[in-house]
């Protein structure tokens, strides 16, 4: 089974305002967080995960992304798959939700909740379509929120390019450089096949979708790189 998660296995990131750029403040961010889309996305993913544990594999095959099933009319799968995770691997959902918790609120505050929800879903759908285009109509399911979350991570890098993130927990670099690095890694692992069971092209599809959406459809702050100062 292709589980679309590998993010924190090689990326343990945290934001810092030191050295490059500080995040702009929003009054009352923490007080409003419990009502935000990010919070409810995490709750829904956790709820669906425990429901998967109860009902069994048929639920995953019905609502996960099985590209060959698209030819049979299962057109809801590019939307629903992003809310499912591997029931046998709790780290799958933990990693995805942790990254969403780290970067989602900041991106949501910048976009607005409605735009953020639309952006998140479109990144997940774009991830599914890109994965299907590259791999073909295979019978192997792809599940997980990683495609959408790679999109959120890409949005963070584009919106706050000079904020320092720590790759692997200790290697500092500007967020935009980290996003570019992640993109090259996903492309490399996807082509080389060195990460069996991980939908690297799904991750890359989420990043490409995010770039297109932010470039042409969603308003964002002007990117100013550190070498322009």
202 occurs within a structural domain: yes
> What residues have CB less than 8 Å from 30, skipping those under 6 apart?
none
For 100-126, how does the pLDDT look when each residue is reduced to its tens digit (9 = 90+)?
999 999 999 999 999 999 999 999 999
**CB contact at 8 A, 206 and 13:** no
CB atoms within 10 A of CB 96: 26
226 occurs within a structural domain: no
Query: By residue range, what is the domain housing residue 186?
Result: 2-22+30-89+107-220
Going from the C-alpha of 204 to that of each of 24, 36, 77, 109, 223, the distances in angstroms are 28, 26, 19, 24, 22
Number of domains in the chain: 1
Q: Give pLDDT, residue 193.
A: 85
Q: Give pLDDT, residue 67.
A: 94
225 occurs within a structural domain: no
Q: Give pLDDT, residue 219.
A: 59
Q: Give pLDDT, residue 5.
A: 38
Q: Is the dihedral angle over the CA atoms 20, 24, 28, 30 positive or is it negative? A: negative
Distance, CA of 27 to CA of 33 (rounded, Å): 11
122 occurs within a structural domain: yes
For 40-98, how does the pLDDT look when each residue is reduced to its tens digit (9 = 90+)?
999 999 999 999 999 988 999 999 999 999 999 999 999 999 999 999 899 999 999 99
**Whole-prediction pTM:** 0.83
212 occurs within a structural domain: yes
CB atoms within 10 A of CB 177: 17
CATH code at position 70: 1.20.1540
Mean pLDDT of the chain: 83
85 occurs within a structural domain: yes
Going from the C-alpha of 76 to that of each of 63, 68, 80, 82, 223, the distances in angstroms are 7, 13, 6, 11, 36
95 occurs within a structural domain: no
> What average pLDDT score do residues 8-29 get?
46
123 occurs within a structural domain: yes
Binned at pLDDT 50, 70 and 90, residue 216 comes out as: confident
Looking at per-residue pLDDT, the higher value among 146 and 15 belongs to 146
């Amino acid at each position: 089974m292709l589980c679309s998660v590998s993010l924190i296995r090689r990326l343990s990131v945290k934001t810092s305002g030191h050295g490059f750029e500080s995040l702009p403040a929003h009054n009352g961010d923490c007080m409003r967080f419990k009502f935000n889309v990010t919070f409810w996305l995490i709750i829904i993913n956790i709820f669906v995960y425990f429901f998967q544990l109860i009902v069994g594999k048929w639920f995953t095959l019905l609502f996960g992304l099985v590209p060959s099933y698209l030819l049979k009319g299962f057109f809801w799968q590019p939307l629903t798959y992003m809310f499912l995770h591997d029931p046998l691997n709790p780290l799958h959902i933990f990693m995805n939700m942790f990254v969403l918790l780290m970067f989602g609120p900041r991106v949501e505050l910048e976009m607005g909740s409605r735009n953020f929800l639309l952006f998140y879903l479109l990144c997940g759908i774009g991830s599914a379509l890109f994965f299907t285009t590259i791999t073909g109509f295979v019978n192997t399911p792809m599940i997980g929120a990683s495609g959408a979350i790679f999109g959120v991570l890409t949005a963070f890098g584009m919106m706050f390019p000079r904020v320092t993130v720590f790759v692997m927990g200790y290697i500092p670099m500007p967020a935009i450089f980290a996003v570019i690095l992640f993109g090259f890694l996903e492309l490399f692992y996807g082509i080389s096949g060195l990460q069996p069971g991980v939908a690297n092209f799904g991750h890359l599809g989420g990043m490409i979708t995010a770039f297109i959406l932010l470039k042409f459809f969603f308003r964002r702050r002007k990117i100013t790189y550190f070498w322009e100062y």
